[in-house]
């Protein structure tokens, strides 16, 4: 299998990925929630092997902000107990123009991961991830609106949120989005 390195900024055309590649299996209630981000980040699990953690074991800012939202759903949810993956499995480094192509190439793997996890709720992080999801799934999701849809022979609820990065000022709306949709979110479980 071709190997991605920190110097690569493109997708591996011939990569055959094991199901657990860039997949964190949740536990308890968190197993029923699949959080989906864009692509592996250099300062996150691309190097550390853990979603939202640096190599030094510190939670990245996006993780801290996401955790505040997860705790609104249930106090037992943590970054370690949720299921998590990336819509594009390739490390694109600073060359984000390849993100759509990488996501398209790894979409079948992403669908297999959804089928493997069988989530009842999918949380999509960010407008770009939502746009890619819409394009590849043939949907018209919008940030802040929860929708039941059919994907990978399942019918989970899907909730796009703003990316929780500290650099994104819209992330502040995520708590309001969760609170507004809380009854419907809780009905998933």
The most distant pair of C-alpha atoms in the chain lies apart, rounded to whole Å, by: 45
Could you report the per-residue pLDDT of 38-93, keeping only the tens digit for each? 988 776 666 777 889 888 889 999 999 999 999 999 999 999 999 999 998 877 76
Report CA dihedral (169, 171, 176, 182) to the nearest 10 degrees. 170
Measured distance CA(149)–CA(157) in Å, rounded: 6
* pLDDT tens digits for range 103-147: 998 899 999 999 999 999 999 999 999 999 999 999 999 999 999
- Rounded to two decimals, the pTM is 0.91
CATH pick for 25-187 out of 3.40.470.10, 3.30.450.20, 3.30.70.1400, 3.50.30.60: 3.40.470.10
């Amino acid at each position: 299998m071709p190997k991605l390195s920190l110097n690569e900024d493109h997708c591996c055309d011939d990569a055959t990925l094991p199901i657990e590649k860039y997949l964190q299996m949740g536990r308890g209630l968190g197993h029923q929630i699949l959080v989906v981000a864009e692509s592996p980040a250099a300062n996150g699990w691309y190097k550390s092997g853990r979603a939202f953690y640096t190599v030094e074991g510190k939670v990245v800012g996006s993780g801290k902000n996401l955790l505040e939202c997860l705790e609104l759903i249930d106090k037992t949810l943590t970054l370690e107990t949720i299921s998590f993956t990336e819509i594009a499995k390739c490390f694109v480094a600073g060359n984000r123009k390849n993100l759509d192509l990488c996501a398209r190439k790894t979409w079948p793997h992403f669908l297999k991961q959804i089928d493997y996890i069988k989530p009842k709720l999918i949380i999509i992080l960010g407008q770009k991830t939502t746009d890619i999801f819409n394009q590849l799934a043939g949907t018209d999701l919008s940030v802040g609106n929860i929708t039941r849809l059919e994907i990978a022979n399942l019918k989970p609820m899907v909730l796009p949120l703003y990316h929780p990065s500290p650099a994104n000022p819209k992330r502040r709306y995520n708590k309001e989005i969760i609170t507004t949709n809380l009854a419907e979110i809780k009905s998933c479980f």
